[in-house]
Amino acid sequence: MSEPARPTSSQLLAMGAVTALTIANVYYVQPLLVEIGRALHASDGAVALVASAAQVGYALGLLLLAPLGDVLERRRLILALTAGAALLSLAVAAAPSLALLLAAVLCVGFCSPVPQVVVPLVAAMTSPEQRGHVVGIVQIGVVVGILGSRTLAGAVSATLGWRMVFVVSAAGLAALLPLLARQLPATPATRALPYRDLIGSLPRLYRTLPLVRQTCLSGALTGVALVDFWAGGVFMLADRYGWGPARVGLLALVGMASAVVTPRAGRFADRRGIRPAALAAGAALLLSYVAFLGADRSLLLLLVGVILLDAGMQANQVINQVALFKLDAALTSRVNTVYMLWRYGGMASGSALGAAAWLHAGWRGVCAVGAIASAGVLLTHLRAPRLEARGA
């Protein structure tokens, strides 16, 4: 680890797989809510809490567990969280009541921020001149996990029942453990720090490092731009095209094409610098909403917009993280945690703003919200050179 170059192909495969399977834990329940409600005799309002529990658990794990990558040996932390997620997935599958299901789903989400331990690890294993490209490769696992989780859950549930979705998840995670134990390198902790001080340092890092504030704002605005479309778009697609959840889910898979963008965006940042790459990502976000203006009349513009939106979002994610990993290696897990919390907050805001925009201003209002957020990403990174120099 004293002279990083880049991980081997086997290591990248193992890390990409564990990021995909753990992030998928947060999203499996979303297409299963109707079946869960019927099986547990729960109302729609009550069973909707299951999806919220997964998201709340993930946010808590991100805040309370991901920073431990700065003080614990990361391989052991990844193995412990993956094993915990596997065991708790079985608890979800066996839950006899809605209350126990909510608790189990919350705990699975709590153990699932593994990608935010893996990404700082892969950055530490890679030389700076290759870091963007390699981080982008690992981020493909996040794209596949988020977008593929709903499809996998629907397919397994349709044939074997909703409980088997979580049995399959547990089996996949358990099967990964020996591979991870072999492939992940031992990485000694960079410093000793009491847990209370570790968590307490998060606000200070945001206040004192301009680069952290810049990437947090960029990530939050990108989260708004992304979820604004999906929150308002489902209403437009139902109103204009008569699409139900199944077709909307297939449209989400179109975004998987953006997976090829992540390593390319990272490589571009490695070669040309953070600012040009970030501006290109912001431009893709803004162009997506130009296309979306006609998406209520043209399926082609809808598809183009979805691809541009997901590509810009994924590129922005990689570029912001590469910028953060230029900071002190002893801080990478914590600054990444702060960044992801802001991004998560942006996504939650985008959900509320997209739905409100549709109710009050229709599809044009949804597009206006997304375009303003995308323009904000561009403006944020216009100050990148000065902030990078001060934040490094």
The tens digit of pLDDT for each residue in 210-233 reads: 999 999 999 999 999 998 998 888
Would you say 41 and 35 are in contact if contact means Cβ atoms under 8 Å apart? no
pLDDT at 244 over 80: no
pLDDT at 392 (0 to 100): 42
Same CATH fold assignment for domains 7-184 and 193-392: yes
Provide the mean pLDDT of the chain: 88
Would you say 268 and 276 are in contact if contact means Cβ atoms under 8 Å apart? yes
- The 10s digit of each residue's pLDDT in 258-301 is 777 778 777 888 888 888 889 999 999 999 999 999 999 999 99
Once rounded to an integer, what is the mean pLDDT over residues 132-140?
Answer: 86
pLDDT at 388 over 80: no
**Could you state, in order of their start, the residue ranges of all structural domains in the chain?**
7-184, 193-392
pLDDT at 261 (0 to 100): 76
Distance CA 206, CA 208 (A): 6
Which residue spans within the chain are E strands per DSSP?
none
Regarding pTM above 0.95, the answer is: no
pLDDT at 163 over 80: yes
- The 10s digit of each residue's pLDDT in 329-366 is 889 999 999 999 999 899 888 888 998 899 899 999 99
pLDDT at 75 over 70: yes
Quickly list DSSP for 14-30. Answer: HHHHHHHHHHHTTTTTG
Distance CA 303, CA 300 (A): 5
Distance CA 336, CA 215 (A): 10
pLDDT at 391 (0 to 100): 44
pLDDT at 390 (0 to 100): 45
- Percent of the chain at pLDDT above 90? 54
Smallest CA-to-CA distance from 206 within 327, 293, 41 is with: 327
> How would residue 1 be classed by pLDDT, with cut points 50, 70 and 90?
very low
What superfamily does domain 193-392 belong to in CATH? MFS general substrate transporter like domains (1.20.1250.20)
pLDDT at 305 over 60: yes
Would you say 256 and 144 are in contact if contact means Cβ atoms under 8 Å apart? yes
* Through-space distance between the first and last CA atoms of the chain, rounded to whole angstroms: 21
Can you give the length of the chain in residues? 392
Question: Domain 7-184 has what CATH class?
Answer: mainly alpha
